[in-house]
Every structure is written in structure tokens, then in C-alpha cells.
């Protein structure tokens, strides 16, 4: 039985991961913003899978979020064996028209928070020479995205960061994995107002499908996971096509803009 800390757990991929790891007998630490949803999720997972579930309710984009999380973990005296950096959101649209305050918050959450929390958790894992870290990237990690410029840039950072950590820890007991899903049926798309784009009308996966594909590969410590043949094809094409072509295709896929 391991202790799994998951951020962004009240919906989508994070929620699916929480249920999967709980179903495998692991204790769960839920970290998200909505206290009411966290309380409901805690009760469900405990009653359904008979594991210990704790939660931390906080806005993870705030500067002191990591300090608060680490203080709570220390108070509980719970070693983190598995960290899943899943929390995220999108502010989508042409860059001159998007909300810069939301984009700064997105940068804080996707980059600063993930970097800080990973560093703090790694110091714990290094003491035991054991642990898993899963970072959630995106097909956008590979493709600069006109009309989604800042989001894809943050996910490109997560990819570069994860690949570098994989190189640093590959000969240790600490495993680093990057998961890059494509369009997934979650609240993420609705909140970003991109549900009606072509991107979310073709080969959209359910969160449970993503987790089912990813879970055994994560446990083995695979470096990169791209779930779904369609997503693999998109990324392959992005590597061989000229940038001006991928830019045009991206604009078509994000046709709200």
C-alpha cells in the first residue's frame, strides 16, 4: 500500500486517477480547490475502496500553496510515494484577446507550482531512493498552438522538465513519467469554452480510458505515454510537417477563433 498525492482531483483525469489508485489499495491525498467536492470524493473513495483518504483544499496558484501542502503532509506524517501533478486549466483564444490575469495564474499553476512541489517531494523520495512522479502534459506539449499560445507553452515546459528529471533519476529508484493526453471529455474543455471546436469533436477520449491505458505504464516507470492512436498520429505529423502547416491546422482545429 502506497500513499498517492494527486492534484486537481475533483473532475476529469485527476478524478479518474484517484479512483484507479484507490481501487488498487493505495491511500490517497486529494489536493484541489473545492472543499465541498473534496469532502464528497473523500467519503466515496473511503466507502468504496476502504482506503485512507485525506484532502487539502486550496487555490494551488497561490504563492504559498506548496508550503501549505508540505506542512499538512508533515503534520499527518504521511510519506508521499507517488506524486501526480495533474491540476491545470486553460485560457484559450487569440493572444491579444485573452485575459492576461488568467494566463499568469495558469503559468503559476502549471510551471511554478509544479516545479516547487516536485522539488519538495523529490527530497523526501531521495531519502528512500524510491518514488514515482507523474506530470500531466498534453499533445500541446509538442505543438505550439496559435489561439492557445500560453497553455501549450506551459505544457512544453512540463515536457522539457519531465524529460530532464527522467535523465537525472533514470538509474535510481525514482521514476519520472510524462503523460500527454489529447482532447479528453472533462470539465476542462467547457471551462475553456472549447467544447465546440473541431479538436473536441474528433477522437475525444474519456478520462477513464486515458487512465486505463496509462496506469500500467506509469507503474513500470515509462518515460512518455501518449494515449490513443489518433494522438500518436497527431504528434508524429507535428514532427515532420513545417511549422506554417501545423499552425494552419491548429487554427482549424481551434475553429472557435
Angstrom distance (rounded) from CA 232 to CA 141: 13
Q: How far apart are CA 102 and CA 120, in angstroms?
A: 26
Q: DSSP for 7-31? A: ES-SSHHHHHHHHHHHHTT-EEEEE
Determine the Cα–Cα distance for residues 213 and 6; give it in Å rounded to an integer.
18
Element holding 107 (H helix, E strand): helix 100-107
- Picking from 236, 175, 186, 178, the residue whose alpha carbon sits closest to that of residue 209 is 186
Look at residue 176 and give its three-state secondary structure.
strand
* Annotated active-site residue in 58, 130, 151, 169: 151
Look up 215 and say whether it is catalytic: no
Residue 251: alpha-carbon gap to chain centroid:
24
Distance of CA 124 to the CA centre of its chain: 21
d(CA 14, CA 254): 24
Neighbours of 1 (CB within 10 A): 10
Residues 57, 59, 64, 65: is their CA dihedral positive or negative? Answer: positive
Residues known to be catalytic: 151
Amino acid at each position: 500500500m502506497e500513499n498517492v498525492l494527486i492534484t486537481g482531483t475533483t473532475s476529469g483525469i485527476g478524478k479518474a486517477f484517484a479512483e484507479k489508485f484507490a481501487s488498487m489499495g493505495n491511500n490517497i491525498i486529494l489536493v484541489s480547490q473545492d472543499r465541498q467536492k473534496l469532502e464528497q470524493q473523500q467519503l466515496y473513495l473511503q466507502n468504496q475502496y476502504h482506503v485512507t483518504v485525506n484532502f487539502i483544499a486550496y487555490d494551488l496558484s497561490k504563492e504559498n500553496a506548496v508550503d501549505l501542502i508540505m506542512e499538512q503532509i508533515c503534520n499527518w506524517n504521511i510519506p508521499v510515494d507517488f506524486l501526480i501533478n495533474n491540476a491545470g486549466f486553460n485560457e484559450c483564444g487569440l493572444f491579444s484577446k485573452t485575459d492576461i490575469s488568467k494566463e499568469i495564474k495558469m503559468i503559476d499553476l502549471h510551471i511554478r507550482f509544479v516545479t516547487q512541489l516536485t522539488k519538495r517531494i523529490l527530497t523526501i523520495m531521495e531519502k528512500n531512493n524510491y518514488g514515482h512522479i507523474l506530470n500531466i502534459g498534453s499533445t500541446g506539449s509538442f505543438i505550439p498552438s496559435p489561439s492557445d499560445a500560453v497553455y501549450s507553452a506551459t505544457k512544453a515546459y512540463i515536457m522539457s522538465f519531465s524529460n530532464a528529471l527522467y535523465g537525472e533519476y533514470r538509474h535510481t529508484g525514482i521514476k519520472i513519467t510524462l503523460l500527454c493526453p489529447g482532447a479528453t471529455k472533462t470539465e476542462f474543455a467547457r471551462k475553456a469554452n472549447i467544447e465546440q471546436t473541431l479538436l473536441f469533436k474528433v477522437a475525444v477520449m474519456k478520462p477513464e480510458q486515458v487512465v486505463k491505458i496509462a496506469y500500467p505504464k506509469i507503474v513500470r516507470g515509462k518515460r512518455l505515454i501518449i494515449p490513443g492512436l489518433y494522438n500518436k498520429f497527431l504528434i508524429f505529423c507535428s514532427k515532420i510537417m513545417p511549422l506554417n502547416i501545423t499552425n494552419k491546422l491548429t487554427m482549424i482545429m481551434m475553429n472557435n477563433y
